[in-house]
Structure 1
Amino acid sequence: MHINPTSGFARDEDGAVAVIVALLLVVLLGFAALGVDVASLYRERAMLQSTSDLTAMSAVGHPDEATARADQTLARNRSRTDALETLELGRFLRNPAIAPEDRFQVLAAGSPGINGVRVVLQQDAPLHFARIFTRDTHVNLHRSALATRTGAASFSLSSHITNLDGDALNTLLAQEFGIDATINAGDLQRLDDTSVDLELLFAALNIEVGRNPAEILNATANGSQLVGALQTLLPTALAVQLDGLRNAAGGDNFTLRSLVGGIDTDLGLTATEFLSGVRFSALDVVRSLAATETVGTGININTNVNISGILSTKTILTAGEPPARSGLIALGEEGVQLHRAAVRLKSETKVATSLLGGFGDGIEIASVNLPIYAEVAGATATLEEIGCSTPNPLDVAARFSTSSIPLHPANGTAVAALYLGKLPESSGAVDPASLEFADMLEVNLTIPLLVTSLKVTGITIQARSYVPVGQSQSETVTFTRQDIMNADVIRSFGSGELLTSAVGGLLSTQNTEFRVKPGQEGLVAGAAAPLIATLLNALPGRLLSTLTTPVDAVLDSALGAAGLELGAGELELTGHHCETVQLVR
């Protein structure tokens, strides 16, 4: 039988698998090599992203040292310093109303408002087996990261409205809203002891806002809405005591910035998260409602003086408008300001005539009236630094600059001014040139004649005097982290104890002018002239020696009732707000 080896070999399938495997092995090894390189590139990219995240987070902690901190982070992560391709400082707004691509705005170094850092890192990732498919030996990778942290503080300044006692506050509420708006002393104390969360208060107002939740700060509400919202946060027994105020407050509108102002509402979610950390007493909400009504409005202050020689005194407090609208509390980043309005205190004091003593035969003092005004400059506090980055308890947590708001230019840099006389009715700064003479003494004269005597009654002696008090100066107020931990968050600024010397200057012979009331010249002519001359010569020294102490006590009592002190104030740090450093897109 003939055998054909060639055809047999062609039909033989033994070893076919080995051939196929041999042919595909090259392809399989190629894919394996490509897989190794792809995995390597993914790993390199993930590591580069992690380094980018760490670099951005480190840099945003200290934006002023962003480049140095970025280089330090790269070195610690064994990356080349030239890996930092881009580092941008800017402002990031966590605001749902802003398109994501527009939420980060690049700013120049040192610009106010920087709260974000964006970095772009680049790195050459080596190729391994994939080189058989390309001439390249590496692939250039780029990864970016954006980190943000916003720091803020909330703080308050002492003012006439925050320091009014219960009687004075009720007087103001009755003046503005009627007697039904007043609150008894026990409930006032309970309101003062009850803490309110600002975010919950705003939520209780149930005001519709757009996509940016921080727009609630620009919303308006009326007094009835505000008191009603406050009632929902109070115990029932206390809440019902505010029904009278809620009904009386009515529809007078005010912006919610009268409670807290200063924060940039474009910060969106950041701003509302800060609101949740702002707390104040329920009584402060009532005070804020009252404060919106006080500009230019005289408030009667009960001074309850019991001073020898003082028959009566009537005190009216008038608040001026601050140079910029401020809330009861300021909340904001570095640069935010809070203003305390200037205040004018008018005191009409009747003095016992016996206090002046006698002026000689024929001269009788029938009455003594002292119309004195005290003008207290407003104050400004500016947040200069907020510390968020250091755990050291002795490092600065917040630093403020404080200064007085200037009075009228004619007062120079004085922090207060005292006036004896008559001023025009106004809530603006007092121009010393507008001070007029005011009735001070009523005098009766007895003129001896040959047979009898002539009595001249109702002669009025007028007076005026003016003295600036103190000198404005900027001061720095600092709080450390340890202060915050110890709840040591109130600082005094300015210089107190100016009143006594100021009253002495007001009544001094150098500053005080006297005259007979115009139109009465005929009454003091002739034989009456020597008696009037004797009185006017003795009066300056007598006023200074006999009235300085009681007038000082009267003004001190009036200022104390209004919670004021010439040339001094208090700043309270009510909150230290620092976001956690976070990565955003």
Structure 2
Amino acid sequence: MAGGMVRRLVGARDGNVAMILAGGLAMLTGTAVLGVDTATLYLEKRRLQGAADAAALAAAADLDNATARAQAAVALSPDNATRLVTMMPGRFSRDPRLAVDARFLANGTPGNAAQVALQSRVQPIFAQVFGYRDITIDARATAARIDLAGFSIGTRLASVQGGLPGALLSQLAGSELSLSVMDYNALVSGQVDLLKTAELLRTGGSVQALSFDEVLASDIALPTLVTAMAGATTSSAAAQVLRSVAGKLPNRNVRLDTLIDLGPLGSRGAADPTRPVPVDAYAFLREALQLSSGTRQIQSAVDLGIPGIGQVKLWLQIGERPAGSHWLSVGEAGQTVVRSAQTRLWIDVALLNAPLSLGSVRVPIFVELASAEARLAQIGCRGGPANALVALDVTPSVGRAAIADLDPANLPYFQQPMPLRPARLVSLPLVTLTGLADVQLGGVSAQRVNFSAAEIDGNVVKTVSTNDIAAGVASSLLRTIDIRANVLGLGLSTGLLTSTLGNTLSIAAPALDLVVGQVTALAGVHVGQADVRVDGVRCGTPVLVG
């Protein structure tokens, strides 16, 4: 009987639904409790991350007062026991070769970023039943201010006489440009916006491109480029000269990406007229013509109009720029370098008004220069654009200067030493006077050059020198020249002739220095020097990174 009762209980089905419903309600209630607490934690995590982002942005905007700025941003958040755990200034690099976690360097200099860590505590609503009284939540954020500067090398604005600028540019262009000194002065005083030039090339239909970088990487016809330059200058005089030049240029192509690096600005496609990247029109035109020239050698004979100087014959050989370097670049501190091209120059100068006993006197001067270099070392934007500071580390060009004769056919072979021989300075019926001087320019370490906001706005060019030839190229050479006399007859005092020639050269030294200075300045290279300028600075606004 007892066994039958058990069998009836086991087989009974009455009340099963109620039991299942009771169990299900318990599970649903538990799930709802956990869901409410989970949502609370999620919302608090989002709120805390927003507070961390705001604190990092505030700190990066004012690194001098970063902790105070971060604290002030945290104080604006709802309480929830939110506190600033750490605030670490440092340097952020956008280098894609670095892992994301390695792009922020704590206490790195020059500082441009801040990393903050925040913490808050939340009291769960239902989880307290299980003993969870407080739950700690953490959030971290990194913000960086990306400051940019554009700078260039070899852009000294020379004061010239005679027809040298027109002759040099015409040789580079391969056609007669007929530039006057007035035209040259209009070019060196006119500023061309590189970004506006690229925009005009892109929107004018001559180049199929979306970004500035794509424009620079395109084949651009020289006349098209120079016409765009004319549209990108605010100087009406420079624009007129550029349009005239454009009509006389051959239809050669040029790719500007080997000349200009716009850095982060290269991804854009429209210029901001309030934030240009300016450069003087002459330097831009000269560099573009050099880039497009097939031979890269200039030969010319000009009268510079310098007192005491007759005709000047010059041979200028321009080498290739070092791989990966540019004439002008836009970038961040510590990452950007510009370099000049290797250059060889031979100037054969005829002196006027030589003493009667000497007849005509010539002084051939040879200059060989390695690349000068400028590195963007620091951008200071803590006081805003009006107080921006830019520092460059500049290494002047080093090489060789000589008074000597040579074979111009050897000029293009930069990998081989230039064979020099004593220069024939004076040729008389019975006597030939020769001279040889050779000065090696010593290597120097980089020198720090600072530019203020006023100097940047004023397009100030600064020069760094090796100090080997502080008194001038010709003057330095003439101090060491070895003059020899080759006598073919009798009755002549060679001592008198050599001393007379020495005195003549000493008197002519300032004029010879002026010749060398004008030729090298217009070519964009300088003996034992590097000329640099900052073409613009952009103080960035902080953005979240990492």
**Is the aligned partner of 1:542 residue 2:542?**
no
Aligned equivalents of 2:304 and 2:290: distance in 1? 23
Per the alignment, residue 253 of structure 1 pairs with: 253
| Match status 1:575 vs 2:546 | no
Measure how far apart 1:153 and its partner are: 0.9
More deviation, 52-61/547-556: 52-61
**Preserved CA contact (<8 Å) 2:312 2:347:** yes
CA contact (8 A) 2:327 2:340 kept: no
SS in 1 for 2:537: strand
Residue 575 of structure 1: how far off its partner (Å): 0.8
* 2:163–2:304 contact (8 Å) kept in structure 1: no
Give the corresponding residue for 2:373: 380
Q: Which residue of 2 aligns with 1:417?
A: 401
Partner of 2:449, secondary structure, is strand
Name the amino acid aligned to 1:384.
Answer: A
Q: Which residue of 2 aligns with 1:339?
A: 339
Q: Are the equivalent residues in 1 in contact too, given 2:194–2:277 (CA < 8 A)?
A: yes
Spell out, residue by residue over 1:396-436, the C-alpha distance to the aligned partner (whole angstroms, 9 max, x if none): 721111121332xxxxxxxx523233355314669877211
Distance 2:365 2:420 in 1: 11
Offset, 1:49: 2.2
Map 1:506-545; keep pairs closer than 5 Å: 506-507=477-478, 511-512=481-482, 514=484, 516=486, 524=488, 528=489, 531=491, 534-535=493-494, 537-545=495-503
Distance 1:382 1:252 in 2: 32
Q: Which aligned pairs between 1:222-301 and structure 2 lie closer than 5 A?
A: 222-233=221-232, 245-246=245-246, 248-257=248-257, 260-261=260-261, 263=263, 268=267, 277-293=276-292, 296-300=296-300
What one-letter code is carried by the residue in structure 2 that aligns with 1:474?
Answer: A
- Structure 1 residue runs of 5 or longer lacking an equivalent are 1-28, 96-101, 358-364, 408-415, 446-458, 517-522
Amino acid at match of 2:396: S
Identify the match of residue 477 of structure 1 among 436, 449, 465: 449
Residues 541 and 378 of structure 1, relative CA distance in 2, 3 Å threshold = farther
Counterpart residue number, 1:23: none
Do the aligned partners of residues 88 and 156 (structure 1) sit closer, same or farther apart at CA in structure 2, a change above 3 Å counting?
closer
Q: Which residue of 2 aligns with 1:464?
A: 436
Deviation at 1:371, TM superposition (A): 2.2
Letter in 1 for 2:501: L
Q: Distance in 1 between matches of 2:238 and 2:514?
A: 35
Partner of 2:421: 436
Give the secondary-structure state (helix, strand or coil) at the position aligned to 1:249: coil
Q: 1:406 — aligned with what? A: 398
Q: CA deviation at 1:152?
A: 1.6
TM-score when normalising by structure 2: 0.71
**1:126 and 2:87 matched:** no
Using the TM superposition, give the Cα deviation of residue 291 of structure 1 relative to its aligned residue in structure 2, in angstroms: 3.1
How far is 1:202 from its partner?
1.1
TM-score by length of 1: 0.67
5 Å matches for 1:181-196? 181-183=177-179, 194-196=190-192
| Superposition deviation, residue 337 in structure 1 | 1.6
Matched positions, count: 505
Counterpart-to-counterpart distance in 1, 2:331 and 2:273: 9
Secondary structure of 1:288's aligned partner:
helix
CA shift for structure 1 position 53:
0.7
AA of the residue aligned to 2:465: G
Q: Deviations over 1:251-274 (max 9, x none)?
A: 433222355326267x84599879
Report how far residue 550 of structure 1 moved: 1.3
Name the CA distance, whole Å, in 1 between partners of 2:313 and 2:69: 64
Question: For the structure 1 residues 515 and 422, does the alpha-carbon distance in structure 2 shift closer, same or farther, using more than 3 Å as the test?
Answer: farther
Could you tell me whether the CA contact under 8 Å between 1:90 and 1:104 is conserved in 2?
Answer: no
- The percent identity for this pair of structures is 22
Give the structure 2 partner of residue 314 of structure 1. Answer: 313
Q: Residue 406 of structure 2 contacts residue 420 of structure 2 at CA under 8 Å; is this kept in 1?
A: yes
Rounded to whole Å, the distance in 2 between the matches of 1:286 and 1:300 is 19
**Measured at CA, do residues 253 and 356 of structure 1 come closer, stay the same or move farther in structure 2, by a change above 3 Å?**
same
Task: Give 3-state SS (helix, strand or coil) of 1:349's partner.
Answer: strand
Deviates more, 1:35-44 or 1:416-425: 35-44
CA RMSD after TM alignment: 5.2
Amino acid in structure 2 at the alignment position of 1:171: A
Q: Distance in 2 between matches of 1:76 and 1:428?
A: 68
| Paired residue secondary structure (1:422) | coil
Q: Matches of 1:261 and 1:230 in 2, distance apart? A: 17
Encode CA deviations 1:152-174: one digit per residue, 9 max, x unaligned: 21122334798777943322343
Q: CA deviation at 1:54?
A: 2.8
Report the AA paired with residue 331 of structure 1.
V
Q: 2:24: which partner in 1?
A: none
What CA distance in whole angstroms lies between the structure 2 residues aligned with 1:89 and 1:474?
Answer: 23
AA paired with 2:429? N
Match of 1:493 in 2: 464
Structure 2: distance between partners of 1:274 and 1:381: 27
Amino acid at match of 2:438: Y
1:576 is paired with a residue of what secondary structure? Answer: strand
Q: 2:304 aligns to what SS in structure 1? A: coil
Q: Using the alignment, how far apart are the partners of 2:290 and 2:171 within structure 1?
A: 12
Shift in alpha-carbon separation, 1:420–1:539, aligned structure 2, 3 A? farther
Task: Supply the AA of the counterpart residue of 2:406.
Answer: K
How big is the shift at 1:576?
A: 1.1
Who wins on radius of gyration, i.e. which is larger?
Answer: 1
1:211-240: per-residue Cα shift (whole Å, max 9, x none)?
x76444434423133134335557999867
Counterpart residue number, 1:177:
173
Q: What is the alpha-carbon distance in structure 2 between the residues aligned to residue 189 and residue 488 of structure 1?
A: 15
CA, structure 1 residues 153+163, in 2 after alignment: closer, same or farther (shift >3 Å)? farther
Distance in 1 between residues matched to 2:268 and 2:208, nearest whole Å: 16
Gaps of 5+ in 2: 1-28
Structure 1's 239 and 61: CA in aligned 2 closer, same or farther, altered over 3 A?
Answer: closer
Query: Does the residue aligned with 2:126 lie in a helix, a strand or coil?
Result: helix
The residue that corresponds to 1:7 in the other structure is none
CA distance in 2, matches of 1:271, 1:238: 23
User: Hey, what's the Cα distance between the residues in 2 that align with 1:135 and 1:51?
Assistant: 29
Q: 1:322-373, CA deviations, whole angstroms, 9 ceiling, x for partnerless residues?
A: 435654432111131222335444332334685274xxxxxxx554333222
Q: SS at 1:355's partner residue?
A: coil
**Shift of the alpha carbon at 1:301?**
6.5
Q: What is the alpha-carbon distance in structure 1 between the residues aligned to residue 85 and residue 352 of structure 2?
A: 87
Q: Could you tell me how far apart the structure 1 residues matched to 2:273 and 2:141 are?
A: 25
**SS state at 1:323 partner:** coil
- Are 1:89 and 1:118, in contact at CA under 8 Å, matched by a contact in 2? no
Change (3 A) 1:545 1:161: same
